[in-house]
């Protein structure tokens, strides 16, 4: 699937993206997102980057951690998702310090060594060139800083794998069908099949330049967080 096709999918699903994430994650995605932000080690006053920000969940969590003296950049290539993210942030009081940027994660419009922390939620699986996206993260991340990447995975346990597939086929896709988005969410299953395992992600990250890469399986392997460190 091309970049333009993936962008078109996320533009179409933008109005119901959060609702479907609730279904897809058994309602647990908020907990996992909070874990992802914590593992990024973003702190008060930091300049942080949230890639594939979607409707802004991780960006808003990052903004709360970096506080009024910090800065968050939320990046996505979907105009519709960014519009929803901007509306959500503007409706909060006081409004968080978030700059929304329409850009491709394979070619980030930022300087080298610019960010104190990076997060990405449910985005790595959908990029067309995973090694290149990790190299871009490494480039813009400061030395001694961390990136934390959350995504769905295929579990290695056959029974849990079977449950995950049943859940998507019989619950997630039918709900998407009711919302007129069956084709858009049918792509999830093949995207999981193509996605590198946690061990493979660690190796790709090291080849991209990260000194330390650790993959943490969660939700019985149906989810995982890849935590990366850039050192001198």
The per-residue pLDDT for range 81-131, each reduced to its tens digit, is 899 899 889 888 888 989 999 999 999 999 999 999 999 998 999 899 999
- The residues, any chain, with a CB within 8 Å of residue 56's CB and separated by 6 or more, are 50, 74, 84, 85, 86, 88, 89, 98, 100
> In degrees, to the nearest 5, what angle opens at C-alpha 127 toward C-alphas 122 and 129?
140
In tens, the pLDDT along 144-190 reads 999 999 998 889 899 999 988 888 788 777 777 777 776 666 677 78
| 3-state DSSP assignment of residue 157 | coil
Q: How many angstroms from the chain centroid is the CA of residue 43?
A: 19
For residue 178, the model assigns a pLDDT of 76
For residue 6, the model assigns a pLDDT of 67
For residue 27, the model assigns a pLDDT of 67
57's tokens: 């969940």
Mean residue pLDDT of the chain comes to 88
How far is residue 102's CA from residue 93's CA, in Å, rounded to a whole number? 24
Domains along the chain with CATH numbers: 3-154+193-230 (3.40.50.150)
Of all residues in the chain, what percent carry a pLDDT higher than 70?
86
Of all residues in the chain, what percent carry a pLDDT higher than 90?
57
More confident residue, 40 or 88: 40
For residue 116, the model assigns a pLDDT of 98
pLDDT band at 37 (very low <50, low <70, confident <90, very high): very high
How far is residue 192's CA from residue 141's CA, in Å, rounded to a whole number? 27
For residue 29, the model assigns a pLDDT of 74
pLDDT band at 18 (very low <50, low <70, confident <90, very high): low
């Amino acid at each position: 699937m091309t970049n333009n096709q993936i962008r078109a999918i996320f533009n179409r699903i933008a109005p119901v993206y959060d609702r479907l994430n609730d279904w897809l994650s058994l309602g647990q995605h908020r907990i996992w997102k909070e874990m992802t932000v914590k593992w990024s080690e973003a702190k008060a006053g930091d300049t942080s980057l949230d890639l594939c920000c979607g409707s802004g969940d991780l960006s808003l969590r990052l903004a709360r951690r970096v506080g009024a003296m910090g800065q968050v950049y939320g990046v996505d290539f979907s105009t519709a998702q960014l519009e929803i993210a901007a509306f959500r942030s503007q409706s909060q009081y006081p409004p968080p310090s978030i700059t929304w940027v329409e850009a491709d994660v394979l070619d980030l419009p930022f300087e080298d060594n610019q960010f104190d922390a990076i997060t990405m939620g449910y985005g790595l699986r959908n990029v067309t060139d995973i090694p290149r996206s990790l190299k871009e993260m490494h480039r813009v991340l400061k030395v001694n800083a961390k990136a934390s990447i959350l995504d769905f995975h295929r579990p290695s346990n056959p029974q849990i794998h079977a449950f995950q597939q049943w859940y998507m086929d019989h619950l997630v896709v039918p709900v998407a069908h009711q919302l007129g988005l069956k084709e858009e969410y049918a792509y999830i299953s093949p995207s999981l099949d193509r996605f590198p395992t946690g061990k493979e992600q660690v190796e790709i990250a090291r080849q991209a330049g990260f000194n330390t890469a650790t993959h943490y399986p969660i939700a019985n392997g149906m989810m995982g967080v890849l935590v990366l460190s850039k050192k001198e």
